[in-house]
């Protein structure tokens, strides 16, 4: 038994760094989490109790081990509410399957239930998963791509608009932003297309594109006035999309190009 | 066959005035639209032609109906294709159901279910049997309502919301089978399809989308635990061939969704087109659209039944514009492949195996530092209904050319949940007309912005009805893609357009956001 306890402690110590932090309360609009988020202090207590008592068989993260099943995806553990399903199993054990009985007070069983719920919710809430290290490319090759095949230099400069870009965005955001910098509502100066509408009368109006579909087009001219037009065969619409080169490049990148370019952009601090 | 006819006759004799004559389920939809796709074929083609290419410019709004669940905000746009039976339209939102007059849009009743939770992403509508309606809820109840007044007859639980199941499909009624599916891929639960008794809701049969230990298909999984947690949801209604007595269904992606290292193998019968006997739930054949999927590319898209001709021979075919970007045509008698051809430019496939199934490129499976994949997670197409027009011989789909980064976040030998993340980058959307015999694209209408797929209807009036990503409802000439009519709605078309004729007037009904619109010709 002593060996067991020692082993459990060892597992606890070695896994502490990998175990996700206790789940923080989710905002009410988190579509993925439909059940109550357990109290963080209960999760922390429950984790210690679980690792000490259950981790040897079920694994310190409750994902199962050599002799105990996964409890994160366990139907019984998912059905549980504050220990009402797992409590009897802990108390009585499962002699037929080699699980001994554990006599734990009710509050500790509730804490274990809180820990298991947090583990389940960590697996369920995919939007909260941490992305691992993505800076794996060759920065020199990335620089070559920037100046060569990628033709990034046509519009961008590492000492101009991209100076300090690696401080502005974390690596994950930087990767998706350089691939396609989709305009976002919070952008101070969102990238907008320019448009020229040539009417049947010969009149021509230019400005920033506001709206375009198969039937209508609208723009705001240099003085801020809004204009909209119906489209037909006699109305010519010419759009200049400053992001067109990004869309074109998406078809051409190899994953190595992409990783190298990110590694290079990460040097622009 | 005799028995089946007898069963039909029995149902027919006890119909209520407002009920559905089951014979209508076996006919092309005209005065009624009695099932999710209008008929069993999934073609979404109507033989009605009162509204046609010579007069569609006179099509105008007859009525509109704004869905008000009384809860302030809608949890989902309307995704339900209304049923229309005996002059009444029936449609749903998650936890809510309505009946409105099909001539006026006037509400007859509203039913509300008290929810126990679940993801409220959508509800695809009703199935109908005689005077009874059936729909599924986010917390996985199958509810039977009286079509006359919307009162509840019974409800039965078909899956456990605490296991992270949620249910969205419209039940499909085949004789006395109410065929129901389930959804939910957050935490590696196994998928299944069930048939329920129309009178009691009792289980008639269940077909598991993944095998259990020792069963056929188990060889495509590494161990029993992986297949029992292998996903494969059944969230889009299927189609049915009464002559072959086979129900066709596209199954969802395997679990864990993006981390495939714990489920090496093809992972049958996820991401597959399957043929099942609707009386027993027994599998007749399968074709796997995405063996060992790691991109969330359900093959759940409607398997459309085409009675066609290939090399001068009449053939019973099935076509699917699959989420992974491939257009598949199969012989629906045996599942043998006829066509497998991408309908957008894709970058994840190394070609086809001997059965015509795509071979995934392992380099394009999610990676810790990300891989750039076409199409994106949402796919080239998704649940919104495509259409097949037998008069043009063309299959129509709104196809998204889309780009995503796929990251592997869980590198354990036994990952759980999604095990990865995606980051959508960019997309363009285009209406495409595909020759079912070859997979060649005959014409394309490119929209000037991206978006996800949108439902389509074709009619014998030589018209194609669909939406664009800018909120327009548009009528095209299905032969060449010429635009004939349009109207700007409150938001993008969010369900499949449908049509019916009453008192010599043809109506076209479409849902967009929180509103259902009825269009007809000016009088």
Tokens of B413: 């030998």
Candidates A32, A70, A136; nearest CB to B369 = A136
Is residue B17 very low, low, confident or very high in pLDDT (cuts 50, 70, 90)? low
Is there a contact between B407 and A134 if contact means CB atoms under 8 Å apart? yes
**Closest Cα partner for B327 from B347, B341, B306?**
B341
Check if B486 contacts A (Cβ < 8 Å): yes
Q: Per residue in A175-204, pLDDT tens?
A: 999 999 988 878 877 789 999 999 999 999
Is there a contact between B369 and A134 if contact means CB atoms under 8 Å apart? yes
Instruction: Tell me the backbone φ, ψ of residue B139, rounded to 5 degrees.
Output: -95, 20
Cα gap B179→B128, rounded to integer Å: 11
Tokens of B223: 């161990």
Candidates A34, A131, A133; nearest CB to B118 = A34
Is there a contact between B407 and A131 if contact means CB atoms under 8 Å apart? yes
- Give me the residue label for tokens 């305009």: A183
Residues from chain B that touch A130, judged by Cβ atoms under 8 A, are 409
Candidates B411, B416, B486; nearest CB to A215 = B486
Tokens of A152: 């990034």
Angle between helices A40-53 and A2-15 (to 10 degrees): 140
Parallel, antiparallel or unpaired: strands B456-459 and B45-46: parallel
Residues 223-242 of B with CB under 8 A from A: 225, 229
CA distance B493 to chain A (A): 15
Output the domain CATH number for residue B396: 2.140.10.10
Full residue range of the structural domain in which residue B353 is found: 2-521
Classify residue B130 by its DSSP letter. B
For residue B337, the cross-strand partners are B330
- What is the pLDDT at residue A1? 38
C-alpha torsion angle, residues B251, B256, B259, B261 (rounded to 10): -100
Cα gap B54→B392, rounded to integer Å: 17
Residues 345-374 of B with CB under 8 A from A: 345, 363, 367-372, 374
Query: Domains in chain B: how many in total?
Result: 1
CA distance A92 to chain B (A): 24
Residues from chain A that touch B468, judged by Cβ atoms under 8 A, are 213-214
Cα gap B33→B227, rounded to integer Å: 38
Is residue A28 very low, low, confident or very high in pLDDT (cuts 50, 70, 90)? low
Contact in structure between B504 and B469 (CB atoms under 8 Å)? no
Is residue A18 very low, low, confident or very high in pLDDT (cuts 50, 70, 90)? very low
Is there a contact between B372 and A32 if contact means CB atoms under 8 Å apart? no
Mean per-residue pLDDT of chain B: 95
Contact in structure between B221 and B230 (CB atoms under 8 Å)? yes
Is there a contact between B367 and A79 if contact means CB atoms under 8 Å apart? no
**Closest Cα partner for A55 from A46, A93, B83, B139?**
A46
* Burial classification of residue A27, based on how many CB atoms lie within 10 Å of its CB (0-12 exposed, 13-18 middle, 19 or more buried): exposed
Q: Per residue in B82-119, pLDDT tens?
A: 999 999 999 999 999 999 999 999 999 999 999 999 99
Is there a contact between A215 and B117 if contact means CB atoms under 8 Å apart? no
What's the longest Cα–Cα distance across chain B? 67
Mean pLDDT of B499-505: 97
- Give me the residue label for tokens 């794996």: A136
Interface of chain A toward chain B, CB-CB under 8 angstroms:
31-32, 34-35, 63-64, 70, 72-73, 75, 78-79, 120, 123-124, 126-127, 129-136, 172, 175-176, 179-180, 182, 211-215, 239, 246-247, 250-251, 253, 255, 258-259
Q: Per residue in B163-178, pLDDT tens?
A: 999 999 999 999 999 9
Residue of chain B whose Cα is closest to the Cα of A125: B186
Classify residue A99 by its DSSP letter. B
Is residue B8 very low, low, confident or very high in pLDDT (cuts 50, 70, 90)? very low
Is there a contact between A213 and B447 if contact means CB atoms under 8 Å apart? yes
Residue of chain A whose Cα is closest to the Cα of B449: A213
Cα gap A107→A116, rounded to integer Å: 14
Q: Does the pLDDT of residue A22 top 70, yes or no?
A: no
Is there a contact between A133 and B345 if contact means CB atoms under 8 Å apart? no
Task: Concatenate the DSSP letters of all residues of B331-354 into one string.
Answer: ETTT--EEEEEESS--SSEEEE-T
Is residue B18 very low, low, confident or very high in pLDDT (cuts 50, 70, 90)? confident
Candidates A34, A175, A179; nearest CB to B119 = A34
Parallel, antiparallel or unpaired: strands B96-101 and B283-288: unpaired
**Cβ neighbours of residue A173 closer than 8 Å, sequence gap 6 or more:** none
- Calculate Rg over the CA atoms of chain B: 21
Cα gap B95→B82, rounded to integer Å: 16
* Interface with B, mutate which of A126, A133, A240 (most B CBs under 10 A): A126
Residues from chain B that touch A250, judged by Cβ atoms under 8 A, are 372, 403, 425-426
Cα gap B472→B454, rounded to integer Å: 11
Q: Per residue in A115-144, pLDDT tens?
A: 999 999 999 999 999 999 999 999 999 999
SS3 content of chain B, % helix, strand, coil (to 5): 5, 40, 50
- What is the pLDDT at residue A262? 98
Is there a contact between A123 and B187 if contact means CB atoms under 8 Å apart? yes
- What is the pLDDT at residue A30? 86
Residue of chain A whose Cα is closest to the Cα of B139: A34
Residues from chain B that touch A265, judged by Cβ atoms under 8 A, are none
Is there a contact between A179 and B425 if contact means CB atoms under 8 Å apart? yes
- What is the pLDDT at residue A136? 98
- Catalytic residues of B, by residue number, are 296
Inter-CA distances, B28 with B5, B42, B242, B386, Å: 18, 11, 13, 17
- What is the pLDDT at residue B74? 84
Is there a contact between A214 and B367 if contact means CB atoms under 8 Å apart? no
Return the HEC string of A107-147: HHHHHHHHHHHHHHHHHHCHHHCCCCCCCCCCHHHHHHHHH
Tokens of B366: 């999610």
Candidates A63, A120, A172; nearest CB to B187 = A120
- State yes or no: cis peptide before A168, omega within 30 of 0: no
- What is the pLDDT at residue A29? 74
Is there a contact between B188 and A73 if contact means CB atoms under 8 Å apart? yes
Is residue A34 very low, low, confident or very high in pLDDT (cuts 50, 70, 90)? confident
CA distance B3 to chain A (A): 41
Cα gap B36→B495, rounded to integer Å: 11
Residues 67-126 of B with CB under 8 A from A: 117-121
Return the HEC string of B423-483: EEEEEEEEEEEEECCCCCEEEEEECCCCCCCCCEEEECCCEEEEECCCCEEEEECCCCCCE
Instruction: Tell me the backbone φ, ψ of residue B493, rounded to 5 degrees.
Output: -55, 130
Contact in structure between B262 and B413 (CB atoms under 8 Å)? yes
Instruction: Tell me the backbone φ, ψ of residue A140, rounded to 5 degrees.
Output: -65, -45
- What is the pLDDT at residue B73? 79
Is there a contact between B417 and A126 if contact means CB atoms under 8 Å apart? yes
């Amino acid at each position: 038994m002593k060996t067991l306890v020692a082993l459990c402690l060892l597992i606890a110590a070695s896994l502490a760094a990998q175990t996700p932090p206790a789940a923080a309360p989710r905002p009410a609009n988190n579509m993925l989490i439909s059940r109550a988020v357990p109290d963080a202090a209960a999760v922390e207590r429950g984790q210690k109790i679980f690792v000490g008592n259950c981790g040897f068989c079920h694994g310190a993260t409750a994902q199962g081990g050599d002799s105990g099943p996964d409890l994160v995806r366990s139907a019984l553990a998912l059905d549980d509410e504050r220990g009402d399903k797992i409590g009897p199993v802990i108390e009585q054990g499962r002699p037929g399957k080699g699980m001994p009985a554990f006599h734990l007070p009710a509050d500790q069983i509730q804490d274990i239930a809180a820990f298991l719920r947090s583990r389940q919710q960590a697996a369920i809430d995919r939007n909260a998963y941490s992305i691992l290290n993505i800076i794996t490319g060759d920065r020199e090759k990335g620089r070559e791509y920037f100046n060569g095949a990628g033709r990034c230099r046509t519009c961008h400069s590492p000492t101009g608009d991209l100076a300090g870009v690696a401080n502005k965005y974390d690596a994950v955001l930087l990767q998706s932003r350089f691939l396609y910098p989709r305009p976002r509502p919070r952008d101070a100066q969102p990238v907008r297309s320019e448009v020229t509408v040539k009417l049947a009368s010969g009149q021509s109006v230019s400005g920033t594109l506001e709206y375009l579909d198969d039937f209508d087009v609208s723009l705001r001219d240099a003085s801020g006035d809004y204009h909209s037009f119906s489209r037909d065969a006699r109305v010519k619409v010419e759009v200049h999309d400053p992001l067109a080169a990004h869309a074109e490049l998406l078809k051409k990148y190899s994953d190595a190009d992409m990783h190298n370019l990110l590694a290079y952009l990460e040097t622009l601090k | 066959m005799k028995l089946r006819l007898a069963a039909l006759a029995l149902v027919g004799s006890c119909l209520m005035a407002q009920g559905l004559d089951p014979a209508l389920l076996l006919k092309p939809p005209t005065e009624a639209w009695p099932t999710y796709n209008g008929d069993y074929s999934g073609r979404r083609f109507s033989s009605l032609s009162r509204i046609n290419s010579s007069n569609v410019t006179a099509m105008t709004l007859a009525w509109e109906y704004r869905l008000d669940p009384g809860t302030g905000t809608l949890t989902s746009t309307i995704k339900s294709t209304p049923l229309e039976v005996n002059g009444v339209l029936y449609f749903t939102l998650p936890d809510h159901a309505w009946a409105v007059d099909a001539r006026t849009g006037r509400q007859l009743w509203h039913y509300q279910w008290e929810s126990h939770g679940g993801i409220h992403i959508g509800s695809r509508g009703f199935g109908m049997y005689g005077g009874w309606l059936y729909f599924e809820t986010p917390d996985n109840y199958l509810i039977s309502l009286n079509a006359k007044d919307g009162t509840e007859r019974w409800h039965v639980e078909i899956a456990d919301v605490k296991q992270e199941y949620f249910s969205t499909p419209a039940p499909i009624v085949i004789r006395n089978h109410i065929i129901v599916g389930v959804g939910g891929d957050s935490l590696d639960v196994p998928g299944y399809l069930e048939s329920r008794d129309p009178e009691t809701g009792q289980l008639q049969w269940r077909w598991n989308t993944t095998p259990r230990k020792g069963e056929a298909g188990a060889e495509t999984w590494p161990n029993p635990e992986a297949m029992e947690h292998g996903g494969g949801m059944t969230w889009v209604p299927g189609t049915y061939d009464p002559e072959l007595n086979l129900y066709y269904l596209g199954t969802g992606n395997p679990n864990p969704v993006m981390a495939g290292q714990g489920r090496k193998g093809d992972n049958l019968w996820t991401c597959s087109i399957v043929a099942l006997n609707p009386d027993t739930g027994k599998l007749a054949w399968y074709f796997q659209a995405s063996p060992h999927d790691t991109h969330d590319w359900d093959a759940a898209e409607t398997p459309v039944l085409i009675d066609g001709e290939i090399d001068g021979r009449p053939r019973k075919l099935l076509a699917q514009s699959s989420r992974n970007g491939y257009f598949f045509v199969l012989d629906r008698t045996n599942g043998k492949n006829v066509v497998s051809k991408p309908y957008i430019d894709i970058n994840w496939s190394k070609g086809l195996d001997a059965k015509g199934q795509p071979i995934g490129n392992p380099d394009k499976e999610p990676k810790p530092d990300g891989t750039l994949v076409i199409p994106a997670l949402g796919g080239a197409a998704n649940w919104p209904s495509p259409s097949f027009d037998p008069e043009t011989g063309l299959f129509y789909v709104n196809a998204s050319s889309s780009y995503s980064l796929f990251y592997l976040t869980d590198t354990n030998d036994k990952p759980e949940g999604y095990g990865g993340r995606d980051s959508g980058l960019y997309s363009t959307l285009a209406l495409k007309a595909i020759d079912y015999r070859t997979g060649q694209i005959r014409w394309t209408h490119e929209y000037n912005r991206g978006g996800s797929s949108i439902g389509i209807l074709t009619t014998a009036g030589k018209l194609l009805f669909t939406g664009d990503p800018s909120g327009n409802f548009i009528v095209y000439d299905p032969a060449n893609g010429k635009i004939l009519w349009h109207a700007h709605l409150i938001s993008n078309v969010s369900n499949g357009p449908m049509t019916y004729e009453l008192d010599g007037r043809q109506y076209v009904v479409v849902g967009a956001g929180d509103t259902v619109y009825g269009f007809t010709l000016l009088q």
